[in-house]
Structure 1
Amino acid sequence: MTRYAMITGASSGLGLALAEALARRGRNLILVARQRDLLESIALELTQRFGVEVLLRACDLGEPLRLSGFLLELEEGDRQIDLLVNCAGIRTYGHFLAQEWGDEQDIIEVNILALTRLCHALGNAMAVQGGGQILNVASLAAFAPGPWMTTYAASKAYVLHFSEGLREELKQTGIKVSVLCPGPVRSPLRRIPRLDNGNRCMSPEEVALYTVRALEKNRALIIPGRRNRWLAASPRWLSRWLARKLAGAINRAYCPR
């Protein structure tokens, strides 16, 4: 039976870079994102360049009914998914009370609920298959409170702790669980000029290459970049009030103006 790696949020940025890095290693792919036209062109290009099979599914993971339908299709299908990459994510910047509630709800639906449902559904399928691998994408923001992107940071803290707990639970089933916590990643769709200067941002390709190599070593916590690893550890050395003050000052400086 043909095996596939399924990647959510695969139409741009880090999700696309991870898809290319896996295709380069000969992995067949199932790409999931909202934009069908982008997925079709990406699937064609990856197939032509690397000779792998690339399937696609246009699905808004923030809509529970559409996600349920997608999971039902996977359950009834005969494709074996042995790697799940939960890369889809939503972020907002700014004062929490100034945000539209719908945007904050979307963060919770996609970053938390959809990710957890996919882990549950595909984790059960992997257990039946005798094993597999799950990569959940969190963020450097997961390590401290995140004023001015409070819901996003909290959602990524959930992903970090959920993934580490799941790793311990699923060891006996043969399922390996890793969590990726990148710092700011350069992206033409989410450009933040104040972060794009110098070496503050890694490219999606750099992060993807580091991540794929770490997955091959079954690393539990993946933090690309020495500076980012230092930043992830720094909240342990600070009092809680100072950590949130510093995080708030940094995040506020990056808010769109």
Structure 2
Amino acid sequence: MPKFALITGASSGIGLALAEALARRGRNLLLVARQRPALESIAHELSQRFAVQTLFRVCDLSQPLQLTGLLHELEQGRLHIDLLINNAAFASFGPYLEQDWRQEQALIEVGVLASARLCHSLGQHMQQRGGGQILNVSSLAAFQPGPWMSNYFASKAYLLHFSEALREELAPHGVRVSVLCPGPTNTGFFRKAGMDVRQMADSKFMLSAEAVAQYTLKALDKNRAIIIPGWRNRLVSRLPGFAPRWLTRKVAARVNRMMAGN
């Protein structure tokens, strides 16, 4: 039975970069996202360029019934998923109480519940087989609260703590769990969230999605628990541990409001 890497949010950004980097290594792929045209194009291109089997499934992870259908298909099918990458996520930006609740709920459904459910379902199969690997994509935002992006920062903190705990639980069964916490990455993420990061465009903190993907795969080869691309980002991740919580909140609030132009 051929082995596949399942990647959510695979139609753009870090998810797409990881898909290409894995295909370059000869890995078969199962790509999951909402946009059928993009998935079809990407699957065809990767199959042609790297001679790997590239499948795709259209699924809106904010819709629990669609996720249930995907999991049912995986359970009934013959695909051996030995690498799960939970990458799908999006952010909202601005005062929490001014956000549309439906969007805030969707953020939690995609960034928290779908990731946890995929880990639960596919993790069980990996445990039964005695091997496999899970990568949850969190963020540098996970290390502190984030006023004006409160729900997003909290969702990434969940993934960080959840992944570390799951790593300890599954290690005796041969299943490796890691969490990726990238800093600012040059993708469409900020634009979709309505954030102005033009002042960061040439910053040394801003990495390309391709650089993040390459660093991540090397770290997965070494079974790193927490993966933070870029030495500057690794330094930033440690700073909240040396500052009082009130100061961490204030600094994060100021940075996020600057991105709003306020």
- TM (norm. structure 2) is 0.96
The match for 2:173 is: 173
Counterpart amino acid of 2:76?
E
Q: Does 2:246 correspond to 1:241? A: yes
Task: Quote how far apart the aligned CAs of 1:27 are.
Answer: 0.3
Counterpart amino acid of 1:249?
R
SS of residue matched to 1:177 = strand
Match for residue 223 of structure 1 among 224, 228, 233? 228
Task: Quote how far apart the aligned CAs of 1:90 are.
Answer: 1.3
SS of residue matched to 1:224 = coil
Task: Quote how far apart the aligned CAs of 1:255 are.
Answer: 2.3
4+ long deviations beyond 6 Å: none
**Is this contact kept in 2: 1:112–1:155, CA < 8 A?**
yes
Match for residue 232 of structure 1 among 223, 228, 237? 237
**Is this contact kept in 2: 1:90–1:106, CA < 8 A?**
no
% identity of equivalent residues? 59
**Is this contact kept in 2: 1:5–1:27, CA < 8 A?**
yes
Mapping 1:168-207, distance limit 5 Å: 168-188=168-188, 190-191=190-191, 192-207=197-212
Mapping 1:64-75, distance limit 5 Å: 64-75=64-75
Q: Distance in 2 between matches of 1:62 and 1:30?
A: 19
Task: Quote how far apart the aligned CAs of 1:160 are.
Answer: 0.1
Match for residue 219 of structure 2 among 208, 214, 217? 214
Task: Quote how far apart the aligned CAs of 1:189 are.
Answer: 5.7
Counterpart amino acid of 2:28?
N
Q: Distance in 2 between matches of 1:255 and 1:91?
A: 14
Q: Distance in 2 between matches of 1:127 and 1:83?
A: 12
Counterpart amino acid of 1:239?
P
The match for 2:23 is: 23
**Is this contact kept in 1: 2:176–2:223, CA < 8 A?**
yes
**When the two structures are aligned, how many residues end up with a matched partner?**
257
Q: Runs of 5+ in structure 2 lacking a partner?
A: 192-196
The match for 1:78 is: 78
Task: Quote how far apart the aligned CAs of 1:199 are.
Answer: 2.0
SS of residue matched to 2:200 = coil
Mapping 1:124-143, distance limit 5 Å: 124-143=124-143
